[in-house]
Amino acid sequence: MVRGLLEERFKLVTHRETREVPSYSLVVSKGGPELRRVDLGDPTVTGGVLINGAIQQTLAEPVPPVGWGMGRLADVLGGQPAVGRNVGDKTGLSGVYQFSLSYAITGDDESRPSVFAALQEQVGLKLEPSKLPTSVVVIDRIDRPDPN
């Protein structure tokens, strides 16, 4: 509905394209990953992913997952204000892992390390600057709105 309103009122015309944009790649650091791989076929597996002391779970998940794949971790990291860029999984690690990560959400919190330092120190991963293909919306045309 909003798109239709913008197209009608502002004569908005857009298209999508893929561009290489500044991003980060999630990679394994020199010491190797410090993650616990989870066997999803084992019904006795408990635990999950802790970030800053909280069990991570989305609203769509009735119970917390027992672990995450690296793609999900990359997506979550990309949403952190301190990272400020998209993050792509380049670890080469398949499967699901349990881990605990504690880092400063803002630059004001000096009691915890930055997300960049925490990744290396606590789970053996790091964020490297890179350029990744990303879908972007390009505005082809927009006009002043018609008077009411």
Q: What is the pLDDT of residues 73-103, one digit of tens each?
A: 999 999 988 899 999 999 999 999 999 999 9
Q: Residue 148: what pLDDT?
A: 66
Query: No. of H helices and E strands in the chain?
Result: 3, 7
- Looking at residue 88, what DSSP letter applies? E
Q: Kindly list the domain boundaries of the chain, sorted by start residue.
A: 2-141
Q: Read out DSSP for 50-80?
A: EETTEE---TT-SS--S-B-HHHHHHHHHT-
Instruction: Indicate the pTM of the whole model.
Output: 0.79
CB 124 within 8 A of CB 28: yes
* Sign of the C-alpha dihedral computed for residues 105, 110, 114 and 115 taken in this order: negative
Q: 45-58, pLDDT tens digit by residue? A: 877 888 887 777 77
